Amino acid sequence: MQTSQATLRIRKFFIEIGELSYLAGRFFKVGFKPPFEFREFLRQCYNMGNRSLVLVLVTGFIIGLVLTLQSRPTLIEFGAVSWMPNMVGISIVRELGPVITALVCAGRIASGIGAELGSMRVTEQIDAMEVSGTNPFKFLVVTRIMATTLMLPLLVILGDTVALYGSALVENFKGNVSFQLYFNAVFSALSYGDLIPATIKSFFFGFAIGLVGCYKGYYSKKGTAGVGMAANTAVVFTSMLLFVIDFIAVFISDIFYEL
């Protein structure tokens, strides 16, 4: 009994991967053909940026603050406290900033898209759109995926910036390091090799958030219960996918570093 349930779950997982790949393929096939839903795309960009901005800023600031506070005693013990800006800068820009911002947005945006599209499906709004001569896939799915793909890197940049400010604040208070000195040290430690892979990775994170949110919502079933399920599973699936993408991105950029 348990084995058959496990088999079913594995089967369902692979079916979902297949359907998700189909959705991604349909996005690339349809998304770049006119007519473009430019107004709706801008509305989605505004909604998504606006919806997550405060959360991203607060989370980023606290991450910068906590990381610095917790690393200080260890670095002091090894006499390496002057390396703090380098360590914090690199870890935030290369890994923590993109991953944490993406996770925060997965909770906020992917669940929002899942619930919104799910309820539109249940209340026949998607059918009404189709009857009105609109391709609902282009209007709802393509615009949302494009908006998340474009907005996430911007949110990551803002998140990274406030995280570095949080860190600089601690250094300013505890180590009497000026903001100018701190940021000089951070930027001298960072290279294009840190910035470019992190930015490219952020685009993929944004794409994954939009794709999974839309997939769960647009194809939601089981009536109103399906709406809640769509929102919930969108977050779980996106978070998992983000770590897989992160692993692949780190693996690939590591190859380039070695070259």
Partner 1 sequence: MMSKEKKIVTEAVPGQALKEMIHIEGLYKSFGDNHVLNGFNMNLYEGENLVVMGKSGSGKSVMIKCLVGLVKPDAGKIIVMGQDINELNQEALDILRADIGFLFQGSALYDSMTVRENLEFPMRRHQKKMGVVTDTTPFVLEALKSVGLEHTMDLMPEELSGGMKRRVALARAIILRPKIILYDEPTSGLDPITSKEIIELMRNIQKEYGTSSLIITHDVDCARVISERMILLVDGVNYAEGTFQDLTNSNDPKVQAFFKK
Q: Which of 242, 252, 240, 249 is nearest to 99 (CA)?
A: 242
Cα separation, 118 vs 223, in Å, equals 9
**Could you tell me the smallest distance in angstroms from the CB atom of residue 131 to partner 1?**
5
Residue 188's CB: how many other CB atoms inside 10 A?
A: 11
Structure-derived torsion over alpha carbons of residues 77, 80, 85, 89, reported in degrees to the nearest 10: -90
Tokens 């393509």: give the residue: 142
Query: Under a CB-based contact definition with an 8 Å cutoff, are residues 122 and 220 in contact?
Result: yes
**Could you tell me the smallest distance in angstroms from the CB atom of residue 137 to partner 1?**
11
Cβ closest to partner 1, residue 41 vs residue 83: 41
Cβ closest to partner 1, residue 82 vs residue 123: 123
Tokens of 31: 């998304």
Cβ closest to partner 1, residue 116 vs residue 160: 116
- How far is CA 58 from each of CA 98, 161, 189, rounded to the nearest angstrom? 15, 11, 25
**Could you tell me the smallest distance in angstroms from the CB atom of residue 119 to partner 1?**
7
Query: Under a CB-based contact definition with an 8 Å cutoff, are residues 111 and 213 in contact?
Result: yes
**Could you tell me the smallest distance in angstroms from the CB atom of residue 116 to partner 1?**
8
Cβ closest to partner 1, residue 89 vs residue 118: 118
> Residue numbers of the site for partner 1 (CB under 8 A)?
116, 119-120, 123-125, 127-135
Cα separation, 122 vs 128, in Å, equals 11
**Could you tell me the smallest distance in angstroms from the CB atom of residue 37 to partner 1?**
11
**Could you tell me the smallest distance in angstroms from the CB atom of residue 136 to partner 1?**
11
Cβ closest to partner 1, residue 68 vs residue 119: 119
Cβ closest to partner 1, residue 134 vs residue 161: 134
Query: Under a CB-based contact definition with an 8 Å cutoff, are residues 113 and 47 in contact?
Result: no
